[in-house]
């Protein structure tokens, strides 16, 4: 991965503090700020290193009360739109995030926490694109996604990844870089 990122001329920040842990599944970038879930895989020191690397953005920590990490029940569904599971722990975490932020976000609540793990992209010539769970996995949550009329919706099966605690965001590295023509 490091080699691929270097080939793209991207800035790489390495965590050299052996006491720091930071799992990408605990890092939610809203486009305006970062929320970092404190979980079994991410600690306060990891969040501090992220804050040092991205000084132009606010970085707030939130406890992950249940589930593997923050994106187990929460992700971005578009600019200013947080997709959140309906469980009590997910809703409590969202409330904490709202209290910590100076920004106001819209929310899209899905019945199934794991369905909230989706991948948003704003693609040239396509617009708003959202990869999300399939109707076979979470039919009620897909009905909620279908209300996003301005999004191209792409259902992606996740049955195998879930067996090893993986979600759609675990298999995604989004890079905002123009292609060389």
Q: Check: CB of residue 119 under 8 Å from CB of residue 75.
A: yes
Query: Active-site residue numbers?
Result: 69, 170
Handedness of CA 91, 97, 100, 102 (dihedral sign): negative
CA 32 from chain centre, in angstroms, equals 13
CB 96 within 8 A of CB 118: no
**Cα separation, 54 vs 44, whole angstroms:** 15
Q: Give the separation between CA 148 and CA 72, rounded to whole angstroms.
A: 21
Interatomic CA distance for residues 59 and 50, integer angstroms: 8
């Amino acid at each position: 991965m490091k080699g691929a990122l270097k080939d793209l001329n991207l800035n790489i920040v390495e965590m050299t503090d052996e006491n720091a842990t930071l799992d990408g599944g605990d890092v939610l970038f809203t486009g305006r700020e970062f929320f970092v879930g404190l979980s079994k895989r991410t600690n306060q020191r990891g969040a501090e290193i992220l804050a040092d690397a991205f000084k132009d953005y606010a970085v707030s920590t939130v406890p992950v009360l249940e589930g593997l990490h923050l994106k187990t029940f929460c992700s971005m569904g578009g600019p200013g739109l947080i997709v959140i599971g309906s469980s009590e722990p997910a809703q409590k975490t969202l409330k904490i995030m709202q209290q910590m932020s100076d920004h106001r976000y819209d929310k899209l609540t899905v019945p199934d926490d794991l369905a909230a793990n989706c991948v948003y992209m704003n693609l040239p010539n396509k617009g708003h694109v959202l990869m999300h769970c399939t109707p076979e996995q979470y039919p009620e949550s897909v009905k909620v996604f279908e209300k996003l009329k301005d999004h191209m919706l792409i259902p992606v099966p996740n049955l195998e990844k879930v067996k090893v605690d993986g979600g759609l965001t675990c298999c995604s590295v989004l890079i905002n870089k123009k292609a060389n023509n």
